[in-house]
Structure 1
Amino acid sequence: MDFIPYGKQYIDEEDISSLIETLKSPYLTTGPKVKEFENKICEFTNAKYAVAVSNGTAALHLASLILLNENDKVLTTPNSFLATSNAILYLGAKPVFVDICEDGNINLDLCDEELKRDSSIKAIYVVHFSGNPINQNKLKYLKETYNIKILEDCAHSLGATFENINAGSCIYSDLSILSFHPVKHLTTGEGGAITTNNEEFYKKLLELRTHGINRENFLHKQMSEDKKGNINPWYYEMHSLGFNYRITDFQCALGLSQFKKLNNFIKRRKDIAKNYDKAFLSTIVKPLYNFDGNSSYHLYVVKVNFEKLNITKAELFNKMRVKNIGLQLHYIPINKQPFYKNIGYGNENTPIMDNYYEECFSLPMYPSLSSDEQNYVIKTLLKVLK
């Protein structure tokens, strides 16, 4: 059996042809494919606006530039990739780590308690962990009750739904971000996007994506026009301190091709999740949450009580790798990372997160995972654990 990783991309000849076609076009960047890709994101998520960028971290950074000010307190989860809370620090704001629920998502009831206790909290950054969408009713309650800013990190959840609300639609949030890394639901190699329903935010994001440059609505008319009132065709103005977070046309061409297969990708992930659920029924391996059709399953996470076994998690990972199976851990608690401990974090009361780190890990989950490969993963895992 060839090595089975926890996740990988699916690229076919249609994807390759789309990429080659764009490489042969006059535009490699800032061309028509970018807007076409953004329109497709809007169509799929039901958000009004989308801004495609170079990667998911760039999306988080730009979103934070819109929402945060220095020293703002932001409730967020310790169970995510570092980029989520790092983006808060980029603005000189302060993450406040809140414990998770048993399903891996931030505990919004605890967020409610924090907001009651501290009226100086300005925002919440929620993560739809593993593809499992955040409870939108609770999100709506928090936004309406406390009038706070909300960012949804949907890097895991493209295609997920909560009571017919699409991940990334920003129904009860200000902004959402997406990631198109190779292990995600669709890939552009690297790449990301911000979605919003706020036109002002959208226009500002477009400006920040490209060095803070604005090519219309000029402030200096005497510089932008000639003596006869004609607009100088070379003219542009820098209105803010922006970044070069642009995405290329050939990346967007790949993304557009991937979109054609996205529903099938998500269906296959759900089928794999259902197979895992069935196989682990009445075993020592427990799914992080039971299948309900809402998650788009970027990850399939399981729990094992290692204290009752004669094997550690590290031994399990190593023995599975010998068997050509790659497990992964999503995630090490962010607040326990050396950098975060050096700036004062690490002693938060997060018992569910701490237990999660001890017991949970991710199994292979990607559309091209065959039934034979999945069965091999299941049988090998159960055998090694016994």
Structure 2
Amino acid sequence: MIPYGRQNITEADISAVVEVLQSTWLTQGPGIAEFERTVAKACQASHGVAVCNATSALHIACLALGVGPGDLVWTSPNTFVASANCARYCGADVDFVDIDPATLNLCTSKLALKLKAARDAGRLPKVVIPVHFAGRSCDMQAIAALAKEYGFAIIEDASHAVGASYQGVPVGACHYSDITVFSFHPVKIITTAEGGLLTTNNTALAKRLARLRSHGIAQGPEQLVSEPAGAWEYQQVELGFNYRMTNLQAALGVSQMARLDAFIARRRQLVRQYHTLLADLPVVRPQACEASAWHLYPIRVPAERRLEVFNTLRAAGIWVQVHYIPVHTQPYYRALGFGPGDFPEAERYFSEAFSLPLFYELTDEQQLHVVNTLREALR
């Protein structure tokens, strides 16, 4: 079987994890801070805060920015449900902004129109969460300009975009956002088995994120509310969570980060090859973008043929996948008042799309087999 995505694990990765297993630090330990520094440096950000997964990162990002009951958070409907659920965890309301059919990211012109209407109605979002779908950055400069005009904070959901860049600067530098969130699930660009990380240039935000990931316990003397009675004392100063990454995961992450450039280079090479190999087929290829990290390679076929072609590829052992069912059409969100027809570009894309295999170890021969099988399925 050829999956749509898969991790690459080397002897160096295994050795890094074994070294931690043989140490005294299995859960919390110095490797976590090293991983945070490694990712923050690669992103040109001031701070990195590692957590157990990207969903928890999105949750505490919302909390750190003060999202709560009565607030409103906007995101893209073309994403995994976690991008919206994080606001619901905080008791906030959620709405969506339809996508640009070319980039498949949140559409900035639609965002501008929706913001104007929201201001007129007196109901502006507190936070907007642009999602860098498939590894391509949203137009963050335009979104940041709107944030300045309308007064909302920005969380970049860069779960797909480790190693991507925007305007020549790494995604995660937070030049146009308050916080950026990354995912290290095994199908992502690098993996920590499970894990996530937040970058920010705001020291106060970084300290609060670190506190929220660990039960809300004070993370230094300056955060204590009273003089400690002894060295044993810890103080919970707010309600937090157990969202910590382990030292084992961090060791794997540091080892993986050493190959980030190689991972991105191979993905971009495979994408260029896909673009060429698919040029004569009746499919819509994703828009070229050399700055993308290319977590996914989504194509579009006529909606009436999507299921047939999808099933033919899977029957041939090519495990294509659909990314994503629009969030607003999920039963939970339909119960909140959303429904089909609300965000037509996201729905149209979903009805036609599936992702072809794309990962570091995918060979040229396997890629050619995928394309040839797709060619036969489309006949």
- Could you tell me the TM-score, scaled by structure 2's length? 0.96
> Residue in 1 aligned with 2:258?
260
Tell me if structure 1 keeps the 8 A contact 2:135–2:295: yes
> Residue in 2 aligned with 1:137?
141
Tell me if structure 1 keeps the 8 A contact 2:225–2:237: no
**1:1-386 superposed matches below 5 A:** 3-67=1-65, 68-102=67-101, 103-119=103-119, 120-121=123-124, 122-214=126-218, 215-217=220-222, 218-221=224-227, 224-225=228-229, 232-290=230-288, 292-307=289-304, 312-347=305-340, 349-386=342-379
- Which residues of structure 2 form unaligned runs of 5+? none
Shift of 1:347: 4.8
Q: Which moved more, 1:124-133 or 1:110-119?
A: 110-119
Distance 2:167 2:208 in 1: 31
Deviation by residue 1:112-151 (Cα, 9 ceiling, x = unmatched): 1111111332221100000011112212211222221111
Is the alpha carbon distance of 1:306 and 1:382 closer, same or farther for their aligned partners in structure 2, counting shifts above 3 Å? Answer: farther
Tell me if structure 2 keeps the 8 A contact 1:143–1:172: no
Q: Which moved more, 1:108-117 or 1:344-353?
A: 344-353
Deviation by residue 1:72-127 (Cα, 9 ceiling, x = unmatched): 11221110001010001111111111110112101111111111111332221100
Shift of 1:382: 1.0
Tell me if structure 2 keeps the 8 A contact 1:53–1:59: yes
Distance 1:295 1:347 in 2: 30
Give % identity. Answer: 39
Count the aligned residue pairs: 371
Distance 1:83 1:23 in 2: 31
Distance 1:130 1:347 in 2: 23
Q: Which moved more, 1:261-270 or 1:97-106?
A: 97-106
Bigger Rg over Cα: 1
Distance 1:193 1:52 in 2: 4
Distance 1:48 1:147 in 2: 23
Shift of 1:200: 0.7
Distance 1:235 1:330 in 2: 47
- Could you tell me the TM-score, scaled by structure 1's length? 0.94
**SS of corresponding position for 1:362:** strand
Task: Give the AA of the match of 2:176.
Answer: Y
- Which residues of structure 1 form unaligned runs of 5+? 226-231
**SS of corresponding position for 2:130:** strand
